[in-house]
Amino acid sequence: MKGANFLNEIIYADNAATTQIDEEVLNFMIDLQKKYFGNPSAVYKISKPVKKILNESRKIIAECINAESQEIFFTSGGTESDNTAIKSVLFENLSERPNVITSAVEHKAILNSCEAMKNLGCTITKISVDKFGSIDVDELEKKIRRKTKLISIMFANNEIGTIQPVEKISEVAKAHGIIFHTDAVQAVGHLPIDVKNFDIDMLSASAHKFNGPKGTGFLFIREGLKILPFIDGGGQENNFRAGTENFSAIAAMAFALKKNCEQMKLNAEKVSECAEVLLKILREKNIDFILNGGENRLPGHLSLSFKNCNGETLMHRLDLKNICVATGSACNSRRNEISHVLKAIKLQKNYARGTVRITFGKKNTPHDAKTIAEVLTQIVNQG
């Protein structure tokens, strides 16, 4: 197949599920593994460079989101960061049976963390979204109660790409003295993020979404925020998240994030061009589909719902042609049901069932987009 961007035969367009690690980042990580093995907490000389690398990585990451080094806590990825944010705040306030406000379109790492806390006496308020997946900030403000201790609204949605009005949400949270957390797993490395300017209290990120390695991420926690440690043990991460640090992956994450932030504008232009090429072809071929998520979406992120089709069938038939896309969301791809996000935007069922998510990454080319559009057209027209 021509136009394949890597792995020779494959067109990979599922970058919201994961990205391929950047080659330079991978080589850097392997090199570190070869050179250093000392435990960063040890005090003899072979551990010193490891500790130094960790500190430098923390600084690089902090600079990328305009935070301070001591506000970055390394985790195993987005799921752990989200669990920590939700549970640490709610555990801190557990005796008051606290309330958390979140949205109907969050990732399961948020929704299921909230559900787990419900069993311990916490309450959850879920804000609905409009047809584009965006929350209404006035509705959010009306739902605030005396016991609301946390507002957790994602930066950008992993299924339909909608970018939420984060600055307005943080304004409301501040006005009511409530902690604001945002799951920015899909946004970090792809959209400009300034935690000071946006007045964010906590932010989750995951390295494998921005061409870093899997199994590492971070949680930004504004300095001075009083929350309970989530993983107890040997006192690493300033007594907040114990466990020997995965130092080479952390350093690779910092490198990948810096690289992506430096190339953000260029990458956004590239992936947006791919998305435009694909949409143009589908429209020219008169294919009946809905583009979900409205105008204010992540660049290169297409959630497309084809009338009277089956998303899973479309995904498998594209796979047979060596094209990787997702049905709605990777987390739902093994279940043949309409995702909670598509239900929340009230998409008609005859379109919702035929949803595929195509997410371009920095390695994709307009030729990839053209190939995907042509193969999709054939499959949809065959019925």
> Does 333 contact ligand PLP by CB under 6 A?
no
* In the complex, least distance from residue 206 CB atom to ligand PLP, rounded to whole angstroms: 3
Distance, in Å, from the CA atom of 140 to the CA atom of 144, rounded to the nearest integer, reads 7
Applying CB under 6 A, which of residues 12, 14, 72, 78 lies at the interface with ligand PLP? Answer: 78
- When asked if residue 300 is in the footprint of ligand PLP (CB under 6 A), the reply is no
- 368 is a site residue for ligand PLP (CB under 6 A): no
Q: How far is the CB of 369 from ligand PLP (least distance, A)?
A: 22
- Here the tokens at position 329 are 């969301």
Tokens matching residue 83: 């669990």
CB of 81 to ligand PLP, least distance (A): 8
- Residue number of the CB closest to ligand PLP reads 78
CA distances from 86 to 71, 282, 289 (A): 17, 41, 37
Shortest spacing between CB 267 and ligand PLP, in angstroms: 18
Applying CB under 6 A, the span of 31-39, 73-81, 225-233, 340-348 interacting with ligand PLP comes to: 73-81
Q: Which of 13, 50, 86, 185 binds ligand PLP (CB under 6 A)?
A: 185
Q: By CB under 6 A, name the one of 14, 29, 71, 77 that touches ligand PLP.
A: 77
Other beta carbons within 10 angstroms of residue 196's beta carbon come to: 11
Evaluated on CA atoms 344, 349, 350, 355, the torsion sign reads positive
Is residue 209 within 8 Å of 19, Cβ to Cβ? yes
Provide the minimum distance between the beta carbon of 379 and ligand PLP in the complex, in angstroms, as a whole number: 25
Angle, helices 366-382 vs 264-284, to 10°: value is 30
Contacts of 228 (CB under 8 A, 6+ apart): 88, 91, 92
Which one of 121-129, 183-191, 267-275, 280-288 is the stretch in contact with ligand PLP (CB under 6 A)?
183-191
Residue 85 per-residue DSSP state:
H
Q: Could you say which of 158, 260, 267, 339 contacts ligand PLP (CB under 6 A)?
A: 158
Q: 380 and 309 in contact (C-beta within 8 Å)? A: yes
Instruction: Report the candidate in 83, 88, 231, 221 with the shortest Cα–Cα distance to residue 149.
Output: 88
Active site residue 331: yes
Of 71-79, 174-182, 295-303, 368-376: span binding ligand PLP (CB under 6 A): 71-79
Is residue 217 part of the contact set for ligand PLP (CB under 6 A)?
yes
> Is residue 85 part of the contact set for ligand PLP (CB under 6 A)?
no
Residue 206's DSSP bridge partners are 217
CA dihedral 172, 77, 21, 161 (to 10 degrees): -30
82 binds ligand PLP (CB under 6 A): yes
- For 130, the token pair is 């409009």
Closest CA to 158 of 333, 23, 346: 333
> Nearest approach, Cβ of 16 to ligand PLP (angstroms)?
6
Cβ 321 vs Cβ 9: under 8 Å: no
Judged by beta carbon, residue 111 or residue 279, the one nearer ligand PLP is 111
Identify the CA nearest to 327 among candidates 159, 122, 166.
Answer: 159
Q: Widest CA span of the chain, in angstroms?
A: 68
Least distance from ligand PLP to the Cβ atom of residue 159, Å = 8
In the shown chain, the binding pattern of residues 101 to 140 toward ligand PLP, with x for contact by CB under 6 A and - for none, equals ------x-x-------------------------------
Interface stretch with ligand PLP, choices 83-91, 94-102, 180-188, 282-290 (CB under 6 A)? 180-188
Our CB check for ligand PLP shows the closer of 251 and 287 to be 251
Q: How far is the CB of 292 from ligand PLP (least distance, A)?
A: 16
- Residue 154 lies near ligand PLP (rule: CB under 6 A): yes
Nearer to ligand PLP, 291 or 331 (CB): 331
- Is 224 exposed, middle or buried, given 0-12, 13-18 or 19+ CB atoms closer than 10 A? exposed
Residue 16 CA to residue 18 CA, distance in Å, equals: 6
Site of tokens 């690690």: 21
Task: Using the minimum distance from each CB to ligand PLP, give the nearer residue, 15 or 170.
Answer: 15
Binding region for ligand PLP (CB under 6 A): 77-79, 82, 107, 109, 154, 158, 183, 185-186, 206, 217
Catalytic residues: 331
